[in-house]
Chain A
Amino acid sequence: MTGADTTTAALTTALTTTVAPKSARQETLAVGLVIVVVAIIAGVAISQRQIVNPLPRLYDWQLSSFYDLNKTDQAIHSSLISAIPEMWILHADLLAQKAGSKTEDSLPNKVEDSPLSKVEDSQSSKAEDSWPDVDQLAEYYFVAPFAKDLFWSQYGEVTWARVTTFSFEGSTVYHGNGGSADQQSAYLVVLSHAHKGASFSSSGTIWMNADAYAPAPNEVVRDALIRKGWKQVVAYSGDMERRRIRN
């Protein structure tokens, strides 16, 4: 509902009140005038409605989530963006558990119910290991796109995993490939530890590869990813839309 809708609505009222002219000539004039006004307002309405200048400008190694992705990739992108804050929160939990300190908001349920507690003893205390794996996200927290539900089956049954075969020096990487939906990509979520300790972060980047079977990369430096055919997805966010509407 932008200003364009209001204008069109107002116009409809204007139209209905312009009837009953005195003479045929006046009528023709009135109709002509109305047509011109309609044309102008429709033009304005259309130009207001289009995203004229999507910010920011994209490089050829980037994709717009709004314009460039097909329905499947768009849905998976949306779900990954929403999953990122959850990954960070669980990461903070795991760090807190390792440090032996339970903060007030450590877990939504009792700690003994949590699958996270299983990880505690079995892994080393390296910060890179303090990340939830895909099964935890899926089975305990029902987080899309990892949970094996209707979303997962409708969007190609992608195989997801946290990449642990390589050490990425300061990044945690989740990888998904092998999806069977039409024109589906392979996916990468890169969480950089630059914001280490931020329990409420939502930072992370999402990359897609047109080859649905693209394997996980062994480094996530930008140029290396680009060389392997990965493209970074730039979300068209509420922030951008707000700036477009209201500067």
Chain B
Amino acid sequence: MKFHRVFAAQLLTLFCTVFVGVFTGVADAKPLKVGITLHPYYSFVANVVGDRAEIIPLIDAGNNPHNYRPQADDMRRVLSMDALIVNGIGHDEWAFEIIQAAGRKDNLPLIYANSGVPLIPIAADEGEAKVVNPHTFVSTTVAIQQIYTIARELGKLDADNAGYFRKNARDYALKIRRLKAKYMGELAKLDTSTLRCATMHGAYGYLMQEFGLQVVAVIEPRHGVAPTARQLGDTIDKIKAADVNVLFAEKYFASNLSETIREATGVNMYAFSHMSDGDYSAGLFERETQANLETLVNAMRSVSASTTETPPSEATPSTNVAE
């Protein structure tokens, strides 16, 4: 009887040990499943986590984030996530609908990439209410700030890899800084004083701020909401009055609107990437940033051509400068 009890106790101990061992072993080995809402956040996370986490885009690629309506698959995906990285300041409000619908409002850790980012208003007319610009991801410096925030917060969820995430974040940040520095160098050779630009949508406010360039007018301050005929007329007048010589439109959300404006005003039109198109990939952010900066240099070259003699396309090879 006594023997049996001892044996049972030993068996129990052994069982517990094995069970706990297996359990924690599994927990350690299992990589985080990190959800993301927008394309640039995929790139940020991919560069921070390397192969030590799985990235799950909340919605399928190929959707326009400005008028997205949640799908059934999104619910399934959000259920499998350990954390979700969000813009959280107005560019992915649908994510909160999905979280709510999937019943994960109280148990899904959210990482707000913009928590420490100082927000700027969308360029507005005098007297108009200042509206927050949520496009912090179309930028370099402000992107780096978000990358650090993401790395820090992921490190809290996966303490074993915190140092690894931090190191990757720094390497990635330096890569982005080098990319920016290269185009800063290109722009320095040009006379930027004559540039007077307008943009479709407020998507490029942070980028232009980082390059010291002022946006004279924003033509479609609310994405997907076409201006009325009267607003369009006012805009055209504004562009003429402000002597705008370059209009930055959008590469993927091509709109008749920008074409109409170009015809009415004769401004040069260049297309920027809003970074919401194509497949999710680690390299997307750098690739699209490089394309945007190249576009910026080309636009600047066109306006400064009349004033300064600059050697044509001596640089800007399309290879990645940041080794």
- Interface code B41-78, partner A: CB below 8 Å = 1, 0 otherwise? 00000000000000000000000011100000000000
* Stretch of A20-28, A101-109, A211-219 that contacts chain B: A101-109
Q: Which residues of B contact A12 (CB under 8 A)?
A: 225
Q: What residues of A have a CB within 8 angstroms of the CB of B113 in the complex?
A: 238
Interface positions of A from 131 to 179, Cβ below 8 Å from B: 141-144, 147, 149-155
Cβ distance B293 to chain A, nearest Cβ, rounded Å: 11
Q: Which listed residue, B142, B171, B184, touches A150 by the CB 8 Å rule? A: B184
Interface residues of A in 190-247 (CB under 8 A from B): 199-200, 202, 235-239, 241-242, 245-246
Q: Which residues of B contact A8 (CB under 8 A)?
A: 222, 225
Does B170 contact A239, Cβ atoms closer than 8 Å?
A: no
Known: A8-B222, A82-B141, A237-B119. A104 touches B163 (CB 8 A): yes
User: How far, in whole Å, are A245 and B132 apart by their CA atoms in the complex?
Assistant: 11
B170 contacts A142, CB within 8 Å? no
The segment from B3-11, B22-30, B207-215, B240-248 that touches chain A is: B207-215
A residues in contact with B155, CB < 8 Å: 200
Contact check, A237 vs B184: say whether CB atoms are below 8 A apart.
no
Q: Taking each of A74, A77, A143, A151, which has the highest tally of chain B beta carbons within 10 Å of its own beta carbon?
A: A151
B317 at interface, CB cutoff 8 A: no
Given A79-B210, A150-B187, A153-B212, are A238 and B148 neighbors across the interface (CB < 8 Å)?
no
Q: Does A89 contact B (CB under 8 A)?
A: yes
CB A142 to nearest CB in B, in angstroms, measures 4
Q: Is there contact, CB below 8 Å, between A5 and B222?
A: yes
Query: Contacts A104-B167, A151-B184, A238-B112: A78 and B224 contacting too (C-beta < 8 A)?
Result: no
- Tell me the bound Cα distance from A154 to B188 in angstroms: 10
Chain B residues within an 8 Å CB radius of A103:
163
Closest residue to A106 on the B side, CB-wise?
Answer: B167
Complex interface: stretch among A29-37, A45-53, A115-123: A45-53
How many residues on A have C-beta within 8 angstroms of the other chain's C-beta atoms?
Answer: 56
29 A-B contacts (beta carbon < 8 Å): A1-B67, A4-B222, A12-B225, A50-B129, A50-B131, A51-B130, A65-B118, A66-B130, A66-B132, A74-B120, A78-B210, A81-B118, A86-B173, A105-B166, A108-B167, A109-B174, A142-B177, A142-B181, A143-B177, A144-B210, A147-B184, A150-B211, A154-B211, A199-B166, A235-B116, A236-B119, A239-B116, A242-B114, A242-B115
| Chain A contact residues, CB within 8 Å of chain B | 1-6, 8-9, 12, 46, 49-51, 65-67, 71, 74-75, 77-79, 81-82, 85-86, 89, 103-105, 108-109, 141-144, 147, 149-155, 199-200, 202, 235-239, 241-242, 245-246
Residues of B at under 8 Å CB distance from A?
65-67, 88-91, 93, 96, 112-121, 129-132, 134, 136, 141-142, 144-145, 148, 151-152, 155, 163-164, 166-167, 170-171, 173-174, 177-178, 180-181, 184-185, 187-188, 192, 206, 209-214, 222-225
